[in-house]
Every structure is written in structure tokens, then in C-alpha cells.
Amino acid sequence: MPQSCDTKIIIWQNSLSKHASAEKAKVLSSFFKTGKGEYGEGDMFIGVTVPDNRKVSKAHYDEPLPVIESMLNSPIHEFRLAGLLALVERYRKLRDDQSRRETVRFYLDNAHRANNWDLVDLSAPKILGEHLLLNPDSALLDALSRSECIWLQRIAIVATYTLIKHDRFEDTLRLAKRYLAHKHQLMHKATGWMLREIGKRRESTLIDFLDANAALMPRTALRYSIEKLSPTLKAHYMSAGK
């Protein structure tokens, strides 16, 4: 007899819970800033490491989408991550364009549930980024970047990591410039990280961006972006930053 969706969810969550650790949960709750007024306020952890989560969740990539959606709607951080990791594996294994587009649409429809930086960073490049590599859509990235949700804003720029690895920098640079005035440090970190990745591929492109914008960049974004530059260039740009 085929298993019901509820049964599939229980089996998946029980498999993850076997790897749970109360000690790790305490550490993760602190690391991901779950205290009052912090960006992860109220998030709940059971203490499952990413390698263990990935190992379990890869086996659930072909679950019905309502099962994955239930995981994404869980208050438990690791269960939401499990749903995202299953989607990553699902997209990787799909070969027909229609199914891939449906997976991307499902991801975007539920993207607000990727509501911490690790959930974004472990999913956006491998789903949305891979999609954009084959189906360029600057308008989609712009729409995400203008959302009032910080996690959608982060998805927009972190998804471009995949494009950067193929020497396509335009979308990243456009979003990075838009985020110069962003108020949140999580976005400063993401922006600086992507700029650093551009610099690793083509330092001259990063230098051009810094020459035009370093004086306007938040210190965190600037520091992240210049991490791989020479000590002389680091000192030069840090002196120029605000």
C-alpha cells in the first residue's frame, strides 16, 4: 500500500531526529541568532549537522511536493533545510526543462521559508542560480532584490554565485550597487562575498567596482570583498571606505 504524505513526513523527520543533539542545538541556536530582536528570532533547532541532513534528505528528493512543502513550513530549522536540500537534489537530477521550471517555481513560491542565511546559501545557487545560467532573467533578480523580505533579497544576489563561476558578472554587479545603501549586515556580508568571488575570477572587474564605489560601501561589505587582494590594495580600499 502506498504511504500517505503524512507518513512520508513522519519517516523523514524521524530519520533526521536520529542525528539530533541537544548540545549542538544549543550551539546552533546561538550561532544563528535566535534571541529576541535578532534576525533568527524564535527559530528552533534540534541539532542536526548539515552533512547528516544532506545524507538523509538526498534520499527524499522525489517526494511529492506537498511533503517537501510541509518540511519547508516546519518551525524546526533543520526540517526546513531538509526540504531545501531535497529540492537541490531534485533539480540536479531532473533532465526535462518543464520539470526543472516547475521546481524553480515551487522554490520561489516557498522561498520565504528559507528564512536564515544558511538556508539561502545552500539552496539559491543550486536551484535558482542553475536555472538562470540556462534561462537568464535579470527582471526576476531585480524583483527579488526589491522585495521587503531580506531573505528574498539575499537569494537574489547569492543565486548569482553560479553565474559568477561562469564569468557572468553583470547581474551581481548591478545588485551589489543597489545594496550599497542596505541597512542589514547580512546583506553587507552577502554582497561582499559575491564581489570577492568576482575578484577571484577577474580581479580587474572587482577593482573597477571598488574604484567607483568603495567610498560608499559599508565596512563589512568592503572588508569581505577585498579579502583576496594584496595587502597594499586592501589598505588602499579600507582607507577609502566609509
User: CB–CB of 205/199 below 8 Å?
Assistant: yes
What is the per-residue pLDDT for 61? 96
What is the per-residue pLDDT for 240? 80
User: CB–CB of 149/112 below 8 Å?
Assistant: yes
Q: If we measure between CA atoms, which residue out of 121, 112, 116 comes closest to residue 31? A: 116
Mean pLDDT, consecutive 10-residue stretches, the chain (242 aa), reads 83 97 96 91 96 96 96 98 98 95 98 97 98 97 97 98 98 97 96 98 98 95 97 93 60
- pTM, to two decimals: 0.95
What is the per-residue pLDDT for 3? 81
Domains identified in the chain and CATH numbers? 1-116 (1.25.10.90)
What is the per-residue pLDDT for 126? 98
